Structure 1
């Protein structure tokens, strides 16, 4: 499992000119699932993300987690995170999980986040989405389970 996270002032996702998910403050997650991911990967990544100390304290140091600042999450499925670009000019997406498997784990991931008392908004799995992100910092990190 691979997640690109961005600390955001606000973000939203639009499908067919309609906003389907948005947050005011927290993290925007671009979520990739590969073939051998399991519920253990989901739980590890979710726990890591909500507890990362990447929000500033009163001294301007990154000492607070998403849980501590009561931030929200916008979670976007993104199979292209498993695109291989070493050979040729067209990305190879063979490492990305098949849609049925990926959707199941992606939904479980969002439920694990919600179980930690986090407000989670999402896009629509498999849809063409326009994602608007106001990156705060900027702070961008990659969290992987493997």
Structure 2
């Protein structure tokens, strides 16, 4: 399972001009389930993400987690993170979990995130979404858990 984490001062996502999720300061989490992933990988990724110290403390050092600042999580499914571009000009997405498995893991990840943290907002799995964000820093960190 992998994610692209972006520290944001605010972010929101829309589907067909309808807002599905919005946060203030926190993390935009672009989430991708890959073939072979399960709840173990989802749990490990969430635990790491909630403890990731990428917010500034009073001294300006990245020393605080999203929990420490009571920041939001905006979790958006993005199977394209599994892209393989080594073979040519058209990416292959065979490493991504099949849609039904991906949806189950996305839903599981969101439910676990809501049980452990607030606020949590989401996109809409499988939808054509527009993600709007103000990247703070910018700070963007790829995470992969096998």
| TM superposition score normalised by structure 1 | 0.98
What are the ranges of 5 or more consecutive residues in structure 2 without an aligned counterpart?
A: none
Output the CA distance in 1 between the equivalents of 2:56 and 2:39.
Answer: 31
Output the CA distance in 2 between the equivalents of 1:127 and 1:140.
Answer: 23
Q: Residues 1-146 of structure 1 correspond to what in structure 2 (within 5 A)?
A: 1-146=1-146
Output the CA distance in 2 between the equivalents of 1:116 and 1:143.
Answer: 19
Query: What is the CA-CA distance between 1:143 and the residue it aligns to?
Result: 1.1
SS at match of 1:108: helix
| TM superposition score normalised by structure 2 | 0.98
RMSD: 0.7
Output the CA distance in 2 between the equivalents of 1:61 and 1:53.
Answer: 9
SS at match of 2:12: strand
Query: What is the CA-CA distance between 1:38 and the residue it aligns to?
Result: 1.1
Output the CA distance in 2 between the equivalents of 1:75 and 1:101.
Answer: 17
Query: What is the CA-CA distance between 1:93 and the residue it aligns to?
Result: 0.6
Output the CA distance in 1 between the equivalents of 2:49 and 2:117.
Answer: 13
Query: What is the CA-CA distance between 1:117 and the residue it aligns to?
Result: 2.5
Output the CA distance in 2 between the equivalents of 1:131 and 1:33.
Answer: 19
> How many residues end up aligned between the 2 structures?
146
SS at match of 1:66: coil
